[in-house]
Homo-oligomer: A and B are copies of this chain.
Amino acid sequence: MTSAATTGELPATWLDVPAEHPFGIQTLPYGSVVLPDGPRVGVAIGDQVLDLTSAATALLPHRTRLFAAGTLDRLLAAGPAVWAEVRAALTAWLTDERHRGTVEALLLPAADARLQLPFTVADYVDFYASEHHAANLGRMFRPDSPEPLTPNWKHLPIGYHGRAGTVVASGTPVTRPRGQRRTPEGEVVFGPSVRLDIEAELGFVVGAPASGPVPLAAFDRHVFGACLVNDWSARDIQAWEYAPLGPFLGKSFATSVSPWVVPLAALQHARVPPPPRDPRPLPYLDDDDAEPWGFDVAVEVALNGHVLSHPPFAGMYWTAAQQLAHMTVNGATLRTGDLFASGTISGPEPGQRGSLIELCWNGTEPIAMPDGGTRSFLEDEDEVVITATAPGPAGTRVGFGEVRGRIHAAPVE
């Protein structure tokens, strides 16, 4: 096992963390750990979690207030200069032997840490930024249309507001929703969804608020970091309800997020140019001459321990910076805790699709499972785990951890 200390440009931690660990010194994601005497801001390092609330009291006393409530809310609101200061302090504590005595006493095993929703979600917006996903759904639902994408798709990042109050932390069970659907025979019936699906996405977390438009170049002055999102979707409820005002109950029962928020500072080595755009976007969305805000994040989707797909975030047509610029160009304000998700991440290959409806092609090509059975949509007690990593400095990988959820049966009337 190689220590991170030997891999060059990255400072070495005095902790025994293997170089290939996705939560090495290159990552330092933030979460909220519930301890018996209250929540703490935690930072993952290797297989341990640093109690940052306590560490700041000892080592960064002028920032004590930022972490006192035990969630990320105040840190998010503090803005990019403070984010950089805190990350530099964490790096110093974990690499300078002089802090070892203080810091080691504030580490707890990650396996014992109960992690809650890391921040208060203000508004939740979900985009639709994968051309492959949008085209796949277009082909399935509008087979007679010569164009799988709607005419607006390449002009603007399509999005809609979701239900902030039902964003839940990874591990929270997801109860199968009940609702109206129309049968293939045209009958309107009520009952548990029979086409329960996932959507593997990245979510971006707004830190510093804004009173109006956030141009592309200001993206990292407002966005703190990223997490994993599983935007659970009841396709049958959604298909019946969505015209003309969009998804509602087909989505609003639950959206799961990973407990660790990876700061943008940890993703600098993962930045890649987005795919070429045609037509060229309007000026407020045009990033041709700007530093790109694409990210080379490799996502993995597993169902009951069986890997279903590897959606590649690098291929997303619209970047998070474009989504933020679009979301605010009308003058809409931005609050600390606003969460916006990418939309389902799907690549061009069948093994790169981020939803079951694509993987089973609307039920016509059921997915083979290792137990010999097949799966189209989710069954009760199915468990979905989405993980991701991105390139870090010195050959490391930056981990996102996981977002996990198990389906519980719908309540009986």
Contact = CB atoms under 8 A, between A and B. Distances in A.
Interface of A: 122-123, 128, 150-152, 155-156, 158-166, 175, 177-180, 182, 188, 190, 212, 234, 237, 240-250, 252-254, 282-284, 326-327, 329-335, 338, 411
B165 A330 contact: no
Given A234-B330, A331-B177, A338-B165, A282 B245 contact: no
Contacts of A166: 332-333
Nearest to A343: B245
A44 to B, nearest CB: 28
A179 B250 CA distance: 28
Q: Is the interface of A mostly helix, strand, loop or mixed?
A: loop
A152 B331 contact: no
Contacts of A190: 282-284
B161 A163 contact: yes
Nearest to A174: B331
Which 7 pairs from chain A and chain B are nearest by CB?
Answer: A246-B246, A177-B330, A161-B161, A160-B245, A249-B330, A245-B246, A253-B330
Nearest to A155: B188
Nearest to A283: B190
Contact of A244 (B150, B163, B241, B254): B150
B241 A333 contact: no
Contacts of A254: 331
A292 to B, nearest CB: 22
Contacts of A160: 160-161, 245-248
Nearest to A234: B330
A249 B127 CA distance: 13
Contacts of A333: 165-166
B161 A243 contact: no
12 contacts: A122-B164, A123-B164, A152-B241, A165-B335, A166-B332, A177-B330, A179-B330, A242-B244, A242-B245, A252-B330, A253-B332, A254-B331
Given A123-B164, A161-B161, A178 B331 contact: yes
Given A150-B244, A158-B244, A246-B247, 9 more contacts: A152-B241, A165-B332, A177-B330, A179-B330, A190-B282, A249-B330, A249-B332, A252-B332, A331-B411
A158 B247 CA distance: 10
A174 to B, nearest CB: 9
Contact of A241 (B158, B212, B249): B158
Contact of A165 (B159, B175, B242, B334): B334
A283 B122 CA distance: 34
B253 A246 contact: no
Contacts of A334: 165
A47 to B, nearest CB: 33
A175 B331 CA distance: 8
B180 A282 contact: yes
Contacts of A182: 151-152
Contact of A158 (B150, B234, B245): B245
A158 B180 CA distance: 12
A212 B165 CA distance: 12
A161 B250 CA distance: 12
A329 B178 contact: yes
A128 B123 CA distance: 21
A185 to B, nearest CB: 14
A181 to B, nearest CB: 10
Nearest to A138: B244
B152 A243 contact: yes
B155 A330 contact: no
A248 B161 contact: yes
